[in-house]
Amino acid sequence: GEDVEQSLFLSVREGDSSVINCTYTDSSSTYLYWYKQEPGAGLQLLTYIFSNMDMKQDQRLTVLLNKKDKHLSLRIADTQTGDSAIYFCAESISGGYQKVTFGIGTKLQVIP
Amino acid sequence: DGGITQSPKYLFRKEGQNVTLSCEQNLNHDAMYWYRQDPGQGLRLIYYSQIVNDFQKGDIAEGYSVSREKKESFPLTVTSAQKNPTAFYLCASRRGDKGNSPLHFGNGTRLTVT
């Protein structure tokens, strides 16, 4: 079955790097996504990675995928107070209906 | 600018009343989705529609209904049969092709039922 797990909370100092981790269980996942949610708003797509890739970098964001361990991470370099939000990991599974399963979300708190 | 519009942002209703949440997209996406978000529970899928005039139940469809008469619109009705309707509701869409295109979200509607 499909299940996506994340830790609930992460606190970092402004300027440091943040690493948010995620594990998933379905080996047939094809795409893995990271979304950001600010208070009272919808989810904003940050980045995504295809399951045959190991790494993807996009400005301050680096996504690492360990397919063997089913582990996904999002690294935010030089974390800013504007990065404070909830970050969701999600997996998309191929099939007649491409179901997207979300993790519970990790709340990132950036301390000035 | 293309996007997904949910309205209203805040909605208050008395228990026992049906209420309809609006979702409109101008992204020309085929597939549309409704999710419910509760604190500490992440996102749960209520209904989805891959094409006009067709929709399917998600994981928590009981007490909800939808329609998809137009490609751009996917309204959600929260009926009086939904036992715990107070929540944050998110509408999303995507191209619906087989390439696993990402979901795009609206800004949500917060429904409070008293």
Tell me: the pLDDT tens digits for A16-40? 999 999 999 877 778 899 999 999 8
Residues of A in contact with B4 (CB under 8 A): 42
pLDDT at residue A95, as a whole number? 66
- Say which residue the tokens 């007649």 belong to: A96
Following CA atoms A72, A77, A79, A85 in sequence, which dihedral angle do they give, to the nearest 10 degrees?
-30
Residues of B in contact with A90 (CB under 8 A): 103
Closest to A24 (Cα-Cα) out of A74, A77, A67:
A67
Residues of B in contact with A43 (CB under 8 A): 43, 90, 92, 103, 105
pLDDT at residue B99, as a whole number? 59
Residues A41-46 have a mean pLDDT of: 95
Q: Lowest mean pLDDT of A12-21, A47-56, A96-105, B3-12, name the range.
A: A96-105
pLDDT at residue A10, as a whole number? 97
Q: Is A102 on the interface with B (CB under 8 A)?
A: yes
CA pair distance A96, A36, nearest whole angstrom: 27
Interface test with chain B among A98, A104, A106, by most B beta carbons within 10 Å: A98
Residue B8: pLDDT band by 50, 70, 90 thresholds?
Answer: very high
Percentage with pLDDT > 90 across chain B: 87
| Residue B13 predicted with pLDDT over 60 | yes
pLDDT at residue A2, as a whole number? 60
pLDDT at residue B1, as a whole number? 63
Å between B90 CA and nearest CA of chain A: 7
| Residue A52 predicted with pLDDT over 90 | no
| Residue A1 predicted with pLDDT over 60 | no
Helices (H), chain A: none
Tokens at A95, concatenated? 């099939």
